[in-house]
Amino acid sequence: MKILIAGGSIAGLSSALTLSCVGHDVHVYERSEVPLRGRGGGVVVLRHMLRFLEQHGHYTQQMISVPTNVRRRVDIHGATVNEEREKLPFSSWDTVYRSLCAMLPRAQISYGCEVTGFTEHAAGIDVHFDSGKSLTADMLVAADGGGSRTRATLFPEHASRFAGYIAWRGIVDEAAFSPLEVETLVDNLTIFRETGHMFMAFLIPGLDGSLEPGRRRFNWLWYRNEPNMADLHRHLTDNLGRPHHSSISAGLLSGESFVELCELANTFLPPVLAQLIQKTPEPFFQSIYDALSPTFAVGRVALVGDAACTVRPHTGSGTSKAADDAVSLAEAFSSDFDPCVVSTLEQWAARRRDEVDRLLKKGPELAAFFGLGNGNS
């Protein structure tokens, strides 16, 4: 089949790779003018995805991770409350993204092209672009993120729901600190938690993928309840005064929000963790929303990644879910698939919805346990 993919982030690239593996003619269209860089923080290694690609002859060792072996909880002074051995394979968004890009021929990705709509007909689907051109394909895969334009077209009445808490996030070079300043944070997933907020920090590869001590980066996340919608909207206004729906990317956080973030860190966090925030050059901001598409496929259109549904980030499964979406879609359209595209997509969507239901329930359950979200303070 000829398959077009809207969105060239991890969900879109993963889908392109897996569908190409089973023999389809796939092309990715990304609205950004250039390859994405520095768009996300730490991620859990995509084990299911790696197995699938290795089975189809792809070398995947580039998807490396920093070996983290201990989960450690600290108190307000930074002293250990408890710790347990747990192997946690954290990589970085950049490392995974670059690896996926390297596995796809450059000619399969078009930058500066945004899918704006589509028209289905008996012979296929016409996909429309912001340039005014249209292309005909057998299937469109929407991997255009949490604010999916495709999902909004399919389900105009659908609305995401604010979960009652936010996440401040950031990445800072290990080299910004002396070894003594961060010695208790190395090789650990470090957690500080009190009712209404939770902070996590761990090492990820350097921007160039390096695992060498001193060249790695610290990834941190700070979840905080946010009952005041006026404050939420203020933080969702960037440094140019532009409002955003749910997040502020690195480099766009307003000076006012950054100052407030540092003040909050000094008040509520152990000094060993507050220093990570203070030395982060470009923190970013995310309001936590729940978004679930009524179905993951309509006609010849499939929804994957955050376009299909968002999972709470503290489940550690957003990127791996996108990869699993891609693998399951390729398996549905392997050599023995039903020639009726619409029927195959309908069956795939029903199965996939059932499979992600556990993840969708896990997020709110964890949030409630941590004292985060609506009904907690």
**The pLDDT value given to residue 377:** 45
**The pLDDT value given to residue 225:** 95
pLDDT tens profile 171-183:
999 999 999 999 9
Residue holding tokens 């996939």? Answer: 352
pLDDT tens profile 144-174:
988 899 999 999 988 888 999 999 999 999 9
**The pLDDT value given to residue 376:** 56
Question: Low-confidence residues of the chain, pLDDT below 50?
Answer: 377
Q: Give the gyration radius of the chain's Cα atoms.
A: 21
Superfamily per CATH, domain 2-63+94-159+290-369: FAD/NAD(P)-binding domain (3.50.50.60)
- Same fold yes or no, 2-63+94-159+290-369 and 66-90+163-289: no
**The pLDDT value given to residue 295:** 94
Domain ranges in the chain? 2-63+94-159+290-369, 66-90+163-289
**The pLDDT value given to residue 99:** 81
**The pLDDT value given to residue 59:** 57
Task: Look at the chain and count its residues.
Answer: 377
Transcribe 214-281 into DSSP letters. Answer: TS-EEEEEEEEE---HHHHHHHTB-TTS-B-SSEE-TT---HHHHHHHHHHHHHHS-HHHHHHHHT-S
Q: What share of the chain is helix, strand, coil (3-state, %, to 5)?
A: 35, 30, 35
**The pLDDT value given to residue 42:** 67
pTM, full prediction: 0.87
Q: What six digits make up the tokens of 296?
A: 């993951």
CATH topology of domain 66-90+163-289: D-Amino Acid Oxidase; Chain A, domain 2 (3.30.9)
**The pLDDT value given to residue 313:** 81
